[in-house]
Amino acid sequence: MSAERERPNVIFILTDDQGPWAAGCYGNHEIRTPNLDRLAATGTRFDNFFITIPVCSPSRATYLTGRIPSQHGIHEWIPVTPDKPDDCDRMADEVAYTDVMAQHGYTCGLSGKWHMGNAFHPQHSFDFWYAHQKGGGDYNKAPMIRDGEGIIEDGYITDVITDEAIGYLDRHDGSQPFYLSVHYTAPHSPWIDQHPQDIVDSYDDCPFETCPQEPKHPWAISLTDNFLGNREGLKGYFAAVTAMDANVGRIIDRVEELGLRENTLICFFADNGFSCGHHGFWGKGNGTFPRNMYENSIKVPAIMSQPGVIPEDVGCDAMVSAYDFMPTLLDYLDLPVPEQQNLPGSSFLPVLMGEEESHNEAVVIYDEYGPVRMIYRHAHGPDELFDLVHDPDERVNLAYDDDYDEKRRELKAQMDEWFAKYVIPEKDGLKETSEMWR
């Protein structure tokens, strides 16, 4: 950030279970997302943005801390029920980018899903805290937390999360820059009888060419049995995205009405990808057993926009990861990156600003999901190796092709060396047993 530029406000919008294919600006001609398309037109869209683990709770922790699951210790989504609330501060020992921002004058607010431990009290320097009690659930009568008290919220929760976010914007007096997390539960299930009926009905005649209901995957779990070929499920998923998109538009509109748009960085991401029949299953990384690392599971929509600062209407094909987000955001704000955290990522600010095509010479993305690791599949279930240049849909598994033995050994050694550098032994996902991952 140049010395002449005022430190910007930041709005970080995060969706739940949104595949990169589920937005018009990513080439989907069926789903309606005019506001995401509008955001992309005023900023940079990343076409190869990878989350670090294809499931919600640990992925969110990586965004916030810049650390992989085998560092922050969350390896799976966190079950929470009303009779058994999660009272653990699972992130207590971590340094979040919001902590750094607050130390340098930012006021921080959260509206929506937390799902990284005890949600009943603010954490990591948030001074405004409107959070979901669990990780998701019904879109009407949702269990939320306001002022430290559990409530059942009237109204469609996507709308209400936006109402609270807009209220936070309206209270901003300009004395400090603000950071606002808007964490939707959309478009996570449930999908049927949950979403505005007019939006659901608007997809009645949709052929859903962008969601081919392929033959059932041999690893598919019960979600696929319920939804493969289910048009009502597809209509509900598309409606959840379109309703969320309308609320993103409400946020952008209010920022513009308040005269804050040119000094506000708006980021749009998802916690993990999702398949709606692609590859023959419904779900994300845990939509199969063994777990999968398909592109639809590990890639997400990613848009960053600040008019007049970030190049506009740009599609960037650089490979970047969620573990790069924390150092990039702090770099963008000219704030220090916590050196003691042994962060695996690096700032992609030069890429974001259009100054470089890639943020280092040899970009390699690493993922993990408990005992499953990626450069390619490792340690749990059959290995998979795909040539994404010639086989972008991941149809031909080369892992057991003798012609690729040397490449497999090379990639495995590279992957093992990388994880050895960053894994904290007592938090190592490889220790997770198969029974824990069914």
Note every long-range contact of 2-5, with CB atoms under 8 Å and residues 24 or more positions apart, other chains counting: 5/309
User: In whole angstroms, what is the distance from residue 293 CA to residue 245 CA?
Assistant: 27
Residue given tokens 């501060």 in the structure block: 89
Average pLDDT, the chain: 91
pLDDT digits over 218-256, tens only? 999 999 999 999 999 999 999 999 999 999 999 999 999
The string of DSSP codes covering 89-134 is: -TTTT---HHHHHHHTT-EEEEEE---SS--SS--TTEEEEEEESS
Q: How many CA atoms lie within 13 A of 307 on its CB side?
A: 11
User: In whole angstroms, what is the distance from residue 383 CA to residue 177 CA?
Assistant: 47
Residue 5 confidence (pLDDT) above 60 = no
| CB 178, CB 7: distance < 8 Å | no
Residue 358: its pLDDT value, please?
65
Task: Name the residue with higher pLDDT: 232 or 407.
Answer: 232
With cut-offs at 50, 70 and 90, classify the pLDDT of residue 378: very low
Residue 363 confidence (pLDDT) above 70 = no
User: In whole angstroms, what is the distance from residue 364 CA to residue 203 CA?
Assistant: 39
Residue among 239, 150, 230 at smallest CA distance from 188: 239
pLDDT digits over 146-175, tens only? 999 999 999 999 999 999 999 999 999 999
Residue 438 confidence (pLDDT) above 60 = no
Give how far Cα 188 sits from Cα of 83, 240, 241, Å. 22, 8, 9
Q: How many CA atoms lie within 13 A of 339 on its CB side?
A: 1
pTM: 0.90
Return the SS3 of 34.
helix
User: In whole angstroms, what is the distance from residue 371 CA to residue 296 CA?
Assistant: 20
Residue among 371, 369, 370, 395 at smallest CA distance from 384: 395
Residue 392: its pLDDT value, please?
73
Mean pLDDT in residue range 15-28: 97
All structural domains of the chain: 9-361 (3.40.720.10)
| CB 434, CB 380: distance < 8 Å | yes
Residue 384 confidence (pLDDT) above 90 = no
Of 259-263, 320-324, 358-362, the range with the lowest mean pLDDT is 358-362
pLDDT digits over 49-94, tens only? 999 999 999 999 999 999 999 999 999 999 887 667 677 788 889 9
